[in-house]
């Protein structure tokens, strides 16, 4: 299984011949949008009215239970962060006995009842670049509550990005870790079973 990061909240999870992508962005960010044919495209934030819906093949927006070719996705509404103009959600993704949790554009530590729904998380994606999302101190606190095996940060400062984000080094200091830096993260379940909140930073 391989995880690639393209910047901001956009990841690809590739397992066998299956591709899942999250939160694709536009070139207005200053970054190059990925050109990938995905079996599933997840959106953690969608402005209303929707330009895509769950009726579109492979598109998942918002709460609900979804399954495609053995890949299970559960979406949970962020009620405190959803408005009349925007839907915000978080997801768990189960692929090849690995549970991913995707926290999208989270701005505050969620209610404990929502954290319980995430279950036992193997790989956690969460914003690590500070405002306007979860601040870095709260992100570190949230990680201690979830206790994932691997943390993959999102929404932090990288070259060419036109949006102001904090540097990943400050987040690593909050965690008290030296980041393990990869161009992409390739692993099997057995490779991460003994890990405890390992910080994996992916390059673009």
Would you list the domain boundaries of the chain?
2-202
Q: What is the mean pLDDT of residues 114-119?
A: 96
pLDDT at 203 over 60: yes
Query: What H or E segment, with its residue span, contains residue 124?
Result: strand 123-127
Which alpha helices (H) appear in the chain, and where do they start and end? 112-118, 136-146, 168-175, 189-192
- Which CATH code for domain 2-202? 3.60.15.10
Query: What H or E segment, with its residue span, contains residue 7?
Result: strand 2-7
pLDDT band at 165 (very low <50, low <70, confident <90, very high): very high
Q: Which residues contact 192 (CB under 8 A, 6 or more apart)?
A: 98, 122, 123, 149, 150, 198
Q: Whole-angstrom Cα distance, residue 184 to residue 171? A: 20
pLDDT at 84 over 80: no
| Phi, psi (degrees; rounded to nearest 5) at 173 | -65, -40
Residue 51's pLDDT is: 59
Q: What is the mean pLDDT of residues 110-123?
A: 96
pLDDT at 114 over 90: yes
Residue 52's pLDDT is: 55
pLDDT at 181 over 70: yes
């Amino acid at each position: 299984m391989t995880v690639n990061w393209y910047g901001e909240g956009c990841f690809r999870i590739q397992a066998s011949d299956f591709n899942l992508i999250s939160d694709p962005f536009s070139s207005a960010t200053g970054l190059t949008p990925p050109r990938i044919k995905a079996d599933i495209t997840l959106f953690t934030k969608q402005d209303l009215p929707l330009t895509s819906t769950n009726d579109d093949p492979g598109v998942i927006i918002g709460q609900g239970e979804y399954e495609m070719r053995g890949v299970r996705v559960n979406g949970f509404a962020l009620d405190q962060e959803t408005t009349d103009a925007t839907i915000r959600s978080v997801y768990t993704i189960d692929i090849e006995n690995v549970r991913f949790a995707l926290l999208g554009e989270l701005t505050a530590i969620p209610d404990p009842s929502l954290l319980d729904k995430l279950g036992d998380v193997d790989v956690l994606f969460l914003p690590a670049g500070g405002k306007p999302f979860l601040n870095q101190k709260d992100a570190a606190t949230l990680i201690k509550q979830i206790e994932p095996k691997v943390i993959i940060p999102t929404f932090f400062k990288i070259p060419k990005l036109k949006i102001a984000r904090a540097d990943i080094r400050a987040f690593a200091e909050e965690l008290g870790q030296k980041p393990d830096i990869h161009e992409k993260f390739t692993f099997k379940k057995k490779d991460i079973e003994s890990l405890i909140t390992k910080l994996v930073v992916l390059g673009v």
